[in-house]
Amino acid sequence: QSALTQPASVSGSPGQSITISCTGTNNDIGYYNYVSWYQHLPGRAPKLLIYEVSNRPSGVSNRFSGSKFDSTASLTISGLQAEDEGDYFCMSFRSGHTLVFGGGTKVTVL
Amino acid sequence: EEQLVEAGGGLVEPGGSLRLSCAASGFMFNHYGLNWVRQAPGKGLEWVSHISYNNWVIMYADSVKGRFIISRDNAKGLLYLEMNSLRAEDTAVYFCSRDGGRGWDMDVWGQGTTVSVSS
């Protein structure tokens, strides 16, 4: 089961916007709107940021937004803050009744 | 507060077995599906297994199929992962997570328990 493809790292200055891509296939992102995004800070439990491509759970900052085009999903962080530094993972449902994560993207605030 | 707490991790020799548990509190346990997700040292998250709220749907990643068994006790609010024929590549932090019910999202996570497979 190959992982979804994410860039290894993305960086930006405070206040800027950054976008993390997550590329899959027609068997996962391209077919299902079951894409979610997670923030994973060192030593902490992962945190759900986005579900079903573009929906934010209550309590998640509106600086986080999600979208999808064809087989690529994207997470945009607006107004980048120092506290946003960490690892970000996408996840999708995949045909054959499995779930698959992306390889993860390390976000650095310059 | 909705909470999941894993337990049962430890050091085990290759070929050995281990049973992880995950205790839930603060929500109606029998209303939610649950997952096990792991993270090997220096690697990303890897989904391991899913069990629906009523045990009707059970799924496994190919990497653990035939070796791991997921189960739950709704009366006790406990999720389990029985791990057999363990390999070095199973070394990881194992997280349990709750299925948010909105398209396979995972909306509550535990802090994880560490499994090390080594001789």
| pLDDT tens readout for residues B65-93 | 999 999 999 999 999 999 999 999 999 99
| pLDDT tens readout for residues B23-54 | 999 999 999 999 999 999 999 999 999 999 99
**pLDDT class for B63, splitting at 50, 70, 90?**
very high
Which of A44, A88, A99, A100 should we substitute to test contact with B (largest number of B Cβ atoms within 10 Å)? A99
CA R_g for chain B? 13
**pLDDT class for A1, splitting at 50, 70, 90?**
low
CA distances from B77 to A32, A57, A85, B31, B69 (A): 31, 24, 34, 11, 17
Q: Which residues of A touch B (CB under 8 A)?
A: 1, 3, 32-34, 36, 38, 40, 44-48, 51-52, 55, 57, 87, 89, 91, 93, 97-104
Question: Whole-angstrom Cα distance, residue A55 to residue B8?
Answer: 34
Question: Whole-angstrom Cα distance, residue B53 to residue A52?
Answer: 20
Which of B37, B45, B93, B96 should we substitute to test contact with A (largest number of A Cβ atoms within 10 Å)? B45
